[in-house]
Amino acid sequence: MKRACVVGAGLAGSEAAWQMARRGIQVTLYEMKPLSRSPAHVADTFAELVCSNSLRSDELTNAVGLLKEEMRRLGSVIMECADAHRVPAGGALAVDREGFSRAVTEKLENHPNITVVRERVARIPEGRVIIATGPLTEGAMAAEIEKLCPETELHFFDAVAPIVTLESVDMDSAWFASRYDKGTADYVNCPLEKDEYIAFVTELRGAEEAPLHGFEDSGVFEGCMPVEVMARRGLDTLRYGPLKPVGLRDPRTGREPYAVVQLRMDNADGTLYNMVGFQTHLKFPEQRRVFSMIPALRNAEFVRYGVMHRNTYLDSPKLLDRYYRLRSQPRITFAGQMTGVEGYIESAASGMLAGIETARELLGLPPVDFPRETAIGALAAYVSGGSVGPFQPMNINFGIISPLGFRVRGKRNKNAAISERSLKIVDLLSAE
């Protein structure tokens, strides 16, 4: 009988254990609750939803809606329990959090191939193991993981800037260039005139910040100051910092703008760009409201917003392969937010892929190799090497899924066509 261990029974660990067990693998699932809890958790059940009961959009014209539908068709226990405990939420999937978590727990505890061990694991188990201990991993397990990583490849705080799709940037109000025209034109430069800059800084100073959770502290801000804090230090602080216009000449006017917001390529396909120096702790609606005051970003599509919070995660492009396995020790697989996926559904999806591919490896079967035309495959590809520059955790979005290769008029129609293609692929793979 083939065996494997899973450490952590959050959404990723629960899904990973389920996928292996349903394929005949004997799984030992370690969960530290109720003997010990992270500061974010209160219940003893698995797959606890901490911050929200919403699992976001359920529409196929939204990338997370596509990811959920892929997971349903691949036999996800997380999606089965979520659908069984959904509550009214319009076009979103929201759940009764307690009912959902209890259902996942009962499913796993009653599966004949899963043995649940309630203890805090201090060392990485021998043999095939999936580590899904979450973004608040600390203590002995964090130290064990740190031993596996070169000095700079385990991060304890998540301070990242918003990311937009290139196609949503108004290029009539922006241009490609590098400062002083050195090297290649790698940045999208979004200029602001004096009145636009003053209005932007004024709104930025007064924008509403997200509250700190009980498991976070001000340490995240020490090495990476939020853009709104810089704005409050003086009207010109940003003009001498991340919005400095020096060395950038607007080809439309022939002169340096009053201020410039730069966007830097975030993925290898050049479809996503991040806002340079715009780490922020603002609430998501405030980010959209204020950052859309930048003329070139007035209609920008934000595929992820800036966040600053405690989050233990790997520099996955350097460490993990497309199956979330540790390249230096392939017997060890990671899943969940520790890999750099962002969000409940993305965490569960990483656990699903890790569980499926680990089971197939143990059974002597070839890997599924979910392609980048699927949401589940695109997310793994991005995390394992699809980013450029410093790695930032990422939500699923259509910008990281392989493009269609032909033009479709209208954003919703294009997204629907991508989803249709993806689900056809998933149906073929699930039938094998």
Closest-CA residue to 21 (of 91, 72, 75): 75
For residue 52, what pLDDT is reported? 66
For residue 367, what pLDDT is reported? 96
As a whole number of angstroms, the distance between CA 57 and CA 69 comes to 11
As a whole number of angstroms, the distance between CA 244 and CA 302 comes to 23
Closest-CA residue to 393 (of 379, 408, 412): 379
For 8-64, what is each residue's pLDDT tens digit?
A: 999 999 999 999 999 999 999 999 887 776 655 668 899 998 766 779 889 999 999
Residue 332 has pLDDT above 90, yes or no: yes
For 258-269, what is each residue's pLDDT tens digit?
A: 999 999 888 778
86: which 2 tokens?
Answer: 């959904």
As a whole number of angstroms, the distance between CA 239 and CA 234 comes to 10
Judged by DSSP in three states, 159 sits in strand
Closest-CA residue to 337 (of 356, 308, 313, 354): 313
Residue 152 has pLDDT above 70, yes or no: no
Q: Show the domains of the chain with their CATH numbers.
A: 3-158+311-431 (3.50.50.60), 163-305 (2.40.30)
Which region among 50-64, 119-133, 375-389 has the lowest average model confidence (pLDDT)? Answer: 50-64
Global pTM reads 0.79
Contacts 24+ apart (CB under 8 A), 285-288: 286/207, 286/208, 286/209, 287/162, 287/207
